[in-house]
Structure 1
Amino acid sequence: MNNIETIFACVVLLAATAAGAQTETSRFELTPFAGFTFGGEFEDMTSSDSLKLDDGASFGLILDIRESANTQWEILYSRQATQADTTGLLTGGASFDLDVHYIHFGGTYLGEGNRARPFLAATIGATHFEPGLADFDSETFFSFSIGAGFHLRPNDRLGIRLEARAYGTVLESDTDLFCRTGPGENICVIHTEGTILWQLETLAGFVFRF
């Protein structure tokens, strides 16, 4: 387990403990999920090239803490292990491995229903890009997300969550990304201006209620 996943696991444990301590009637939902993430592109401002992320599988965990009959606090972690397509001028190949981590906090609003309830979700947090290039720096930026979907509830303890979620990562202006520095060496894969990197994740997960 890497540092990002360890931190998230600790946050989930602390939040769940706090939720249970507030009141005996508090309830929370834990949703491990699998999904598929689309899109993502870094535009290079010094050339006409771009660094495109391959579509690929993702997985993660969502913790929801009930606030009222229709609202919940939400903590989300999502990870996509993908590849970034490049010309290979700096990396020595046509692509390189890139892990994309989202760690977010926000809330959900649940619509009316019994066994099937629509919902809207909104979160903010951080996106962490971790390249699989030796000695190249990782990058972390502010990000936000908006999602919508359905909770299917065959009983009070178990359920299914179906969702589509859009992530926007705010890239800083005039920024060099994925750099390797050392004595007499300063190499960066791409240079970007301030923009938003968009990704879309579709997911399904089992909901466990406590």
Structure 2
Amino acid sequence: MPDIKKAGNIPTSMLAVASLLLSAPSFAEVYVAPFGGYSFGASEFNIKSSGVGNLASDEEGELKVSESAQYGVMLGFTTTDPGDIYLLYSHQSTELRTGNNFSPSPITDLDLDYLHLGGSLYFPKGDVKPYVTASVGLTSMRPSGEYANETRFSMGFGVGVAYQVAPSFSVFADARGYATFISSDSTLFCNGGDCLWSISSDIMWQGQVNLGLKLTF
């Protein structure tokens, strides 16, 4: 085991996952699973302008994340349920857009990431393996420009199917939903004491459809 005290600036979450992998039973198979797909259907924030930039302080409207392609990777190990435990990272380069009383044009570019710890349960039928999955973690929203990043707690759930091509190689397709918890009546994307908007939404919902490859070792 590496000396955690000498780990420097390695994120705590990565150390925890490494410990899980190192302490996994001898029968477990470690795997890596890159994937790509499309993110869609992000729910809208109900917002009110805070009077920054070209927005009047009494304007109200809606703000949402645009649909776009995304990609990511899962690292984990199998269990005997049958199932697996994994760390998932997903990245989307997209835009923030407004509606209603605001201009419908994009407001700013946005990088949106999910970092989740999760697990899947499989229902094998020969080489075809339907599964359900759930995860918890963080959503990171990073707008371009001078305004601050936002990181919020989130949960994920999904269904999918994998096909075992070879003993150490399979392909999979799944659909996932993510719920990011946004505190109501708070501010969003601030720079010091200045904030672009105040919001009155509790949860941001977003869906994904993915195709991927799974390599076990």
Unaligned runs of 5+ in 1: 1-5
Q: Report the AA paired with residue 111 of structure 2.
A: D
Q: 1:64 aligns with which of 72, 76, 81?
A: 76
Question: Which runs of no fewer than 5 residues in structure 2 stay unpaired?
Answer: 1-8, 50-58
SS of 1:154's equivalent? Answer: strand
User: What is the CA distance between 1:187 and its match in structure 2?
Assistant: 2.9
Amino acid paired to 2:208: E
Matches within 5 A, 1:26-105: 26-40=28-42, 41-45=44-48, 47-86=59-98, 94-105=106-117
Query: Whole-Å Cα distance in 2 between the matches of residues 171 and 59 of structure 1?
Result: 24
* Cα drift, residue 75 of structure 1: 1.3
Select the residue among 122, 133, 146 that pairs with 2:157: 146
Paired with 1:62 and 1:99, the residues of 2 have a C-alpha distance of: 19
Give 1:20 deviation, angstroms. 5.0
Distance 1:114 1:33, change over 3 A: same
The correspondence for 1:131, drawn from 120, 132, 143, is 143
Q: What is the DSSP-based 3-state SS (H/G/I as helix, E as strand, rest coil) of the residue aligned with 2:180?
A: strand
The 2-side partners of 1:140 and 1:7 are apart by 18
What is the identity percentage for the equivalent residue pairs of Structure 1 and Structure 2? 28
Q: Are residue 197 (structure 1) and residue 204 (structure 2) matched? A: yes
Q: CA RMSD in A?
A: 2.6
Point out the structure with max Rg over C-alpha: 2
Q: What letter corresponds to residue 127 of structure 2 in structure 1?
A: R
- The aligned counterpart of 1:207 is 214
Q: Following TM superposition, where does structure 1 have runs of at least 4 consecutive aligned residues deviating by more than 4 angstroms?
A: none
Give, in whole Å, the separation in 2 of the partners of 1:106 and 1:85: 30
Please, which moves more after superposition, 21-30 or 75-84?
Answer: 21-30
